[in-house]
Amino acid sequence: MIFITGPLFAGKQAYIMKTLGLSEKEWEERGVRDVEELCREKMSEEELSALAGRLSQKEIVIATEVGGGVVPASSEERLFREQAGRLSCLLAERAQRVIRVICGLPQELK
């Protein structure tokens, strides 16, 4: 699995589609994006690990970094950010390649 992360609107999906020469249809079959949004509900460590296991069955997984900037006042938003970060760590651990894309530019991390 290739795990791609980076800020919102940084060109993550466009980068990997261009690099792998994927059409929109091929992307839909082989990849999944915005996986951080799956962390909106409170999850245990076991549930996060199971989710990471299911997601890692895809060839390409994209997550937007949500941990930067001002810490939210809302406890629900703080929990979401923490869980999204933990999910990203679990996905990076399982991935064969980890790429961070900023301004459309890739940075190979693993």
Task: Kindly state the tokens that stand for 48.
Answer: 């996060």
- Counted domains in the chain: 1
Report yes or no: 95 and 110 within 8 Å, Cβ to Cβ.
yes
The mean pLDDT of 1-5, rounded to a whole number, is 97
The number of helix segments (H) and strand segments (E) in the chain equals 4, 5
> Mean pLDDT score of the chain, rounded to an integer?
94
Residue 70 has pLDDT above 90, yes or no: no
Domain with residue 10: its CATH number is 3.40.50.300
Q: What residues make up the domain containing 39?
A: 2-108
Rg (CA), the chain: 14
The mean pLDDT of 12-22, rounded to a whole number, is 95
pLDDT digits (tens, 9 = 90+) for 72-87: 888 889 999 999 999 9
Residue 26 has pLDDT above 90, yes or no: yes
